[in-house]
Amino acid sequence: MIWWPWRRREEDAARAVVLDVESSGLDPERDDLLAIAAVGVERRGSRVVIRPGDSFDVVLRRESGAPPDKSNILLHGIGAGAQRAGIEAAEALEAFADHAGTALLIGFHVAFDRRMIERASRAVGRPRPANRWLDLADLAPVLHPGVRATALDDWLALYGITVAQRHAAASDAWATAELLQRLWLRAADQGVRDWRALAALAATRRWLPGA
């Protein structure tokens, strides 16, 4: 079942989409995409607002391949039955592409999410998403040069952000959106006013010592 209560009608330059995926393992070149969840956010001056109605959540059908790993299921909670009852990958990926539109896609360590979505898209004959991507794992250290943290949990703890269910795509996407809200406030204090400038700021991560 696809949870998709809000349907995009026109592109909005102020909108971005925060996403998270769940997979059958940690190898983006071999494991399967199991779920995608996303929530829309909107720039409003010095704030970023989360739009709960602009949400997306889908489990992809997985009928073939190796049997689901029990430890992996305990991590994300998507059991074998839920995987068999999921949405066909082509339909799920089309729905996600329609929901995202041309919005900037934001996540934490997005290289993994991006690769999982690209591989799944290629497997069903869909083009890979042409969206721009922003990784909060790059942005956060730029805005907090004195903080030594690498994991999402570290940054959530820094801001006191709680997660309803860690390693559930919808909960993680929402927590990542809350992290984006906090980081945007710091970026806005530095004169950042749009997503492009925020992405440019994140790109300076490559020149930080030890990056």
pLDDT given at position 203:
93
CA distance 51 to 193: 19
Residue 178 is given by DSSP the state H
pLDDT given at position 79:
58
- For residue 209, pLDDT over 50 is answered with no
CA distance 100 to 198: 19
pLDDT given at position 9:
42
pTM value is 0.88
- Taking only the tens place, the pLDDT of each residue in 22-41 is 998 889 999 999 999 999 99
Q: Facing residues of 41 across strands? A: 16, 50
CA distance 104 to 122: 21
Show me where the domains of the chain are located. 15-205
Q: Other C-beta atoms within 10 Å of 142: how many?
A: 19
CATH 3.40.190.10 given to domain 15-205: no
- For residue 63, pLDDT over 70 is answered with no
- For residue 150, pLDDT over 80 is answered with yes
- Taking only the tens place, the pLDDT of each residue in 72-85 is 543 555 756 667 76
